[in-house]
Amino acid sequence: MPSKTRDDLAQALLKSQNAALVVGAGISYDLKIPLGYRLPMEFGAAHQSLLAKVGLLSAWQAAQSATDPDTRWNLEKIFVDVLVSKFAGSIELQQVLVGWLGQVESMAGVQSDTHAAFAVTWLQRKFKHLITTNWDFLLEWQIDGIYYEAYNDPFAPANYSFASGANCTIQAEHLFFLESLEGEDYFWHPRWDIAANVSDLPNLRRWSRPLWKIHGSPVFLACPKCGGFSHWKFEAELKVNDPCPVHPDERLLPEIVFWGQGLDTAQPEVWQRVKKRLQRSDCIIASGFSGSGSDVYIRRVIEANSNAWVVNPSKGAWDVDKVHFVETTAADLAQLLIERVITI
Ligand SMILES: [Zn+2]
């Protein structure tokens, strides 16, 4: 297909009734979230004795000492594949790796207008579905900030102001579900939730809209009986293998999909839900998402949709005969949403 313009993209989104946004690492790159295998290699550098103990040191050393870029990439992949395969069998490795990843400074949220534009477009229902492969909390940070303000007056629309001076509002009924309690009492349920793991699915309410965090996060822990803990912040001093605070006979497990793993094999039930939503969407926009390596299964579903748009600085692995390709950055897509979609 011939390359498309930003204007074509805005019109396609404005015409759609059931659009989905799929975002990946590229949307957070400006905010210093490391790409590729940099994180596991840094983890290895900081934990040499643990690597030796679990039989990973020689694979790490081989990758670390490679000078040719292609060789290094291949050796890093071998190290990471072994790391991931040893993860399930070692509680110590789970505790140390998950704990270390959770402390990476850039994983925590900061204010970001790019992420806010994506979050607001979703909260305004112009995207019905929001799917991220990112471990970081940049989307959640912006959503939480909007809710923090909105709780001051849950009947009023919430406002968000971008650094450029653009303003937008989100209707109160898009943010909250009002449940009548006994007498005159009400409870304001926030309409957003996070779904990362099969144990989260029974907790989804009919009024709630999940942010599909399909690679989980190092911060997430799940109890097999009651679903996710520590969703999006370290709210409790809990770590891998601790007893669940509600079910002391159950142990908390990491909720994370690693490098080289895919949701289709790690969490097939969650993937089926996401896949159905993508297949029903009348417009899919993917940005910052390379679709290569272990993410091929998502790319295939997006490419099979007749109205799929990819917004990336380069075509990468995408089959541009099947998708509309707009050659630009995620930050520019956010700017387009601000100008054309959410502030009108
Ligand atoms: Zn539990």
Determine the average pLDDT of the residues in 47-68: 94
Q: What is the CA angle 133-279-198, rounded to 5?
A: 50
- Spacing, Cα 238 to ligand 1 middle (Å): 12
Pairing of strands 216-223, 227-229: antiparallel
pLDDT, residue 231, reads 60
- Spacing, Cα 213 to ligand 1 middle (Å): 20
Q: Which amino acid type is present at position 248?
A: P
- Spacing, Cα 123 to ligand 1 middle (Å): 30
pLDDT, residue 94, reads 87
pLDDT for residue 44 is more than 90: yes
Say what percent of the chain tops pLDDT 70.
Answer: 94
CA neighbor of 289 nearest in space, from 273, 272, 309 = 309
Partners of 210 in the β-ladder: 193
pLDDT, residue 230, reads 60
- Spacing, Cα 198 to ligand 1 middle (Å): 14
Please state the length of the chain.
344
pLDDT, residue 287, reads 96
CA neighbor of 22 nearest in space, from 268, 311, 319 = 311
Domain ranges across the chain: 6-33+112-212+262-342, 38-103, 216-256
pLDDT for residue 104 is more than 80: no
Measure CA of the first residue to CA of the last residue in the chain; give whole Å.
30
pLDDT for residue 234 is more than 60: no
Determine the average pLDDT of the residues in 232-255: 78
- Spacing, Cα 225 to ligand 1 middle (Å): 5
Determine the average pLDDT of the residues in 74-97: 89
- Spacing, Cα 252 to ligand 1 middle (Å): 8
- Spacing, Cα 249 to ligand 1 middle (Å): 9
pLDDT, residue 84, reads 86
CA neighbor of 305 nearest in space, from 323, 288, 292 = 323
pLDDT, residue 233, reads 54
pLDDT band for 228, please (50, 70, 90 cuts). low
pLDDT, residue 253, reads 83
Q: Strand, helix or coil at 287?
A: strand
pLDDT for residue 333 is more than 70: yes
DSSP 8-state symbol, 205: -
CA neighbor of 215 nearest in space, from 293, 162, 276 = 293
Could you read off the pLDDT of 141-157 as tens digits, one per residue?
A: 899 999 999 988 888 99
26-30, 134-138, 231-235: segment of lowest average pLDDT: 231-235
- Spacing, Cα 82 to ligand 1 middle (Å): 30
CA neighbor of 104 nearest in space, from 28, 197, 199, 194 = 28
User: In angstroms, rounded to a whole number, what is the distance separating the alpha carbons of residues 12 and 283?
Assistant: 7
- Spacing, Cα 245 to ligand 1 middle (Å): 6
- Spacing, Cα 251 to ligand 1 middle (Å): 8
CATH of span 6-33+112-212+262-342: 3.40.50.1220
User: In angstroms, rounded to a whole number, what is the distance separating the alpha carbons of residues 205 and 189?
Assistant: 10
54-63, 88-97, 128-137: segment of lowest average pLDDT: 88-97
Q: Which residue has the tokens 């159905």?
A: 276
- Spacing, Cα 224 to ligand 1 middle (Å): 7
pLDDT, residue 26, reads 83
Determine the average pLDDT of the residues in 154-179: 92
Sheet bearing 216-223, strands edge to edge: 227-229, 216-223, 253-256
pLDDT for residue 278 is more than 80: yes
pLDDT for residue 282 is more than 80: yes
Per the prediction, the chain carries an average pLDDT of 88
- Spacing, Cα 233 to ligand 1 middle (Å): 18
Distance of CA 43 to the CA centre of its chain: 21
pLDDT for residue 236 is more than 60: no
pLDDT for residue 291 is more than 90: no
